[in-house]
Amino acid sequence: MPNRFITTVGAVILALTSGGAYAGTPTMLPHEPAEAAYYADVYADHYGVPRALVHAIIRAESNWHPNAVSDKGAMGLMQLMPATARTYGVRDPFSVTDNINGGVRYLASLINKFGDLRLAVAAYYRGSHPIEQRGLNYSNRAVSNYVRVVRRFYDEELQRHQGNTLHP
């Protein structure tokens, strides 16, 4: 049975090979449904999380597949574990709006807690406890790789948005 990192790497490879281009508002990839991208932006704005980060997390977690389930039991677009989903009021983890709302609320709480996007992303993947204890000295290879992938996707999202600004 593949572990979560292997599953995530598979999604990353699929996402990287599928290409994608910014098609106005919001950013669109072949696997990125317009409804999900819209709500990712709405909830990112509502909770004060960078839109590009929310898109990067969704891309890394599920590659925009709302019915994704990991071998560890994480569900939906933002791959919420059942306890996290309950904590953030997610009634249906496969509902685009519920999942994104809960996932972005959770991400916003991690950003608020850690004050550093790298640590927040690491905690999103691994959980808060080990990151709280070790911070940037946390040396789990899967977590480091996940943070690196999210950073690459985040940078790509920023470039997509910057590439479509209107210039006089």
Which sequence positions are flagged as catalytic? Answer: 61
C-beta separation of 28 from 15 below 8 A: no
Residues 6+ apart with CB under 8 A from 31: 14, 15, 18, 63, 64, 65
Torsion of CA 113, 86, 121, 149, to 10 degrees: -170
Give the integer Cα–Cα distance in Å for 17 and 12: 9
